Chains A and B, each alone.
Chain A
């Protein structure tokens, strides 16, 4: 993997010795020593650019994004084909509305992707962040870069977050495109029966997409923490997806209603607020606060783990 070298290259001159250090504890000492003044302005920016290039540049990740973006397009084409058959209007969410207004393709696509596909993509990016490097044996080389481990973790987290944002943005853009081309846009009829102008409708769809993206930040933090625990990225990705699924299952058990407000996925479908006449900002605020809480707790756990772990691979 050329990644460690690519990242290290700009700073290689400052830390030539640490790359040759083989044993884990020494690497750690070296990186902690580098928390001292060797850092230069722009180091974080370079690190982040390198991480983004890595996450977005990987062929497998691009394939993943392409497949995700095809969901709304396929959905739109299928619906356009069956629009005159007995199957028209059947299905989950707002599927029956799409034929009349392509805007609903956005919310239907996100509705279909929210339970599994988007968490999966998020888990792949977050789970791969640290464990992928460890599994590939490149983590210790990466740590020779003279930045603090905390800074590296932040760069990794931002890269995973960006990948998730790109995924949601792609689904939204593909849905807008397919919906507009196949069905055309119209004024948006809200769930409560009121109709709002098209521009407001588009803004509300963007609100839906934004909220869905923000809802996934907690999962990024969980994945990042798991990623600092293990060296097999596939296991970490699976564990992260499982967290989302278990949370959904727990959320559906009325016996556990006491813990529902704290579950990661509890507010995921509140994006439907954007389709009600009066958007309850307090409800959306609860959802965002919950994600912030998960980010704070699992982000700090990931930091504590990553900055204290002995890295040997």
Chain B
């Protein structure tokens, strides 16, 4: 009988051995004390000075925003909408300069975005569809001119007057200290690499953001993870992107190149010179140089309200209230119903001349519009809007862990990283 009992010890021992084997990698990532000590200012200076590096890696993105999940199975394959909620795996390749590829992985699908200098493509394997974004000659010329202009300005500046990265970091920190506390957290290991952790905590309680934690690689100062914690949930970050696997070797040329697959539908989007001019032109009253902080800048003497951009800086119909983390952006004259119904003319008419107007907004509208023409599954924008928002007196509220939005019946939209009560108060509905 004793022999019998002993035999049952074998599976028990196997279970323990297997458990240990799976736990060892987890334990190995628990501590990182190899990095030299640093300060927030030194870390920021090092990050600012760091050369862009070629790298590739796999990252896991997790959103706990309190929104309904739209997994890849529901969106008919990997789609940016999956990022609203739940976990997604992302792969990244970049040469550190002009070429990059980002892929959102679905179980049996992939959504890729490839950037090569001024050109960009997206490819959805589920729809077998390519979107090619390119610049026309006028836009290319404008971009080149802007580059040359920037280079000329940089050359014209006396090198001695350019602040050192350290001084710049101090300035940035001083600036940030008006709204936030910037501290260093314990070093961590991300994707097997030792990393510094910078923690930014808003000073105000009037925001949904509890803190933001960014981990920078101790060697290359590439950000390896990003966490945004909501004050509504202290157990897990509301938004998290972290590399699980990273390589600092240059990716192969084939990984960064894009070729249109046979049989894929291709949609060409050409950014014209006018588009570019409209998007980059400053609103009236803001022509001129970007303000530079004076040398004897002392943040403690600054009136925070002076930092709120004036009416001239903002596009028509947009205004800003609140300050820092508690900022609320108001946009008036938006016809949400028109946007949702997918009437292109209504879209164009209702989006005022703002930096957000034009292609990206149209793309978004198209994304949500869901046409029956592309076949298979498509989201009903109105249903999605109704599901994401809750009705309140005088409008509809969108609530998430990090961002709130209020659409009033009279066509005003309030957006801010603030509790919904603040938005209602701003709209005069509370």
- Enumerate chain A interface residues (CB-CB to B < 8 A): 89-90, 93-94, 96-97, 100, 111, 186-187, 189, 191-195, 254, 257, 262, 269, 272, 275-278, 280, 282-283, 289, 293, 296-297, 300-301, 303-304, 307-308
A to B CB contacts below 8 Å, 18 in the list: A100-B262, A111-B108, A187-B262, A189-B263, A192-B112, A193-B121, A193-B259, A194-B261, A272-B108, A276-B103, A280-B58, A282-B245, A293-B18, A296-B14, A296-B18, A300-B10, A300-B14, A307-B7
Main secondary structure of the interface of B (DSSP, over half): mixed
Q: Which of chain B's residues have a CB closer than 8 A to the CB of A272?
A: 107-108
* Stretch binding the partner chain, chosen from B123-131, B171-179, B201-209: B123-131
B8 touches A293 (CB 8 A): no
Please tell me which one of the listed residues B21, B56, B87 contacts residue A257 in the complex, with CB atoms under 8 A apart: B87
Closest Cβ neighbor of A188 among chain B residues: B261
Q: Does B288 contact A (CB under 8 A)?
A: no
Bound together, the chains give a CA A272 to CA B128 distance in angstroms of 16
* CB-CB nearest in chain A for B22: A293
Give the CA-CA distance A195 to B8 in the complex, in Å: 52
Q: Using CB atoms and an 8 Å cutoff, list the residues of chain B in contact with chain A.
A: 4, 7-8, 10-11, 14-15, 17-18, 21-22, 56, 58, 69, 86-87, 91, 101, 103, 105, 107-110, 112, 114, 121, 123, 125, 128, 130, 245, 254-255, 257-264, 375-376
In the complex, residue of chain B having the shortest beta-carbon distance to the beta carbon of A96: B128
**A31 → chain B, closest Cβ, in Å?**
14
* B261 lies within 8 A of A193 (CB): yes
Q: Which residues of B sit under 8 angstroms from A300, Cβ to Cβ? A: 10-11, 14
**CB neighbours of B17 from chain A (8 A):** 296
Residue of A nearest to B3 (CB): A308
Contact of A308 with B108 in the complex, beta carbons under 8 Å: no
B86 / chain A contacts, CB cutoff of 8 Å: 254
With a cutoff of 8 Å between Cβ atoms, the chain B residues found around residue A308 in the complex are: 4, 7-8
Least CB distance, B17 to chain A, in whole angstroms: 8
Q: Is the CB of B255 within 8 A of A278?
A: yes
Which of B22, B56, B105 is in CB contact (< 8 Å) with A276? B105
In the complex, are the beta carbons of A90 and B11 less than 8 A apart?
A: no
Residues of A within 8 A of B7 (CB): 303-304, 307-308
Q: What residues on A are CB-neighbors of B255 within 8 Å?
A: 277-278
A193–B125 contact, CB under 8 A? yes
Tell me the nearest residue of chain B to A189, going by C-beta. B261
When C-beta atoms are compared, the residue in chain B nearest to A276 turns out to be B110
Q: Are the C-beta atoms of A297 and B69 separated by less than 8 Å?
A: no
Tell me if A297 and B14 are in contact (CB < 8 A): yes
**Contact of A193 with B130 in the complex, beta carbons under 8 Å:** yes
Q: How far is the CA of A283 from the CA of B57 in the complex (A)?
A: 12
- Tell me which of B15, B58, B121, B125 contacts A297 (CB under 8 A): B15
Contact status B18-A297, CB under 8 Å: yes
Within 8 Å CB of B21, what residues of A?
289, 293
Chain B residues within 8 Å of A111, by CB = 108
> Across the two chains, which residue of chain A brings its CB closest to B127?
A96
In the complex, A275 Cα to B261 Cα: how many Å? 14
Q: Are A192 and B110 in contact (CB under 8 A)?
A: yes
A30 to B17, CA, bound (A): 33
Chain A residue nearest in CB terms to B13 = A300
Which residue of B has the minimal Cβ distance to A275?
B108
Question: A269 to B91, Cβ gap below 8 A?
Answer: no
CB nearest neighbor in A for B85: A254
Evaluate contact between A192 and B10: CB separation under 8 angstroms: no
Known contacts A100-B262, A254-B86; is A193 also within 8 Å of B123 by CB?
A: yes
- Which residues on the A side are within 8 Å of B110 (C-beta)? 191-192, 276
CB distance from A262 to the nearest CB of B (A): 8
- Note all chain B residues with C-beta closer than 8 A to A283: 58
Write the chain A residue with the least CB distance to B14: A300
Asked whether B375 lies within 8 Å of A89 as measured between CB atoms, the reply is: yes
A193 contacts B11, C-beta separation under 8 Å = no
- List A contacts of B260 (CB < 8 A): 193
When distances are taken between beta carbons in the complex, the residues of chain A under 8 Å from B375 are 89-90
- Contact between A304 and B128 (Cβ–Cβ < 8 Å)? no
- Rounded to whole Å, the gap between the CB of B346 and the closest CB of chain A is 31
Q: How far is the CA of A300 from the CA of B245 in the complex (A)?
A: 33
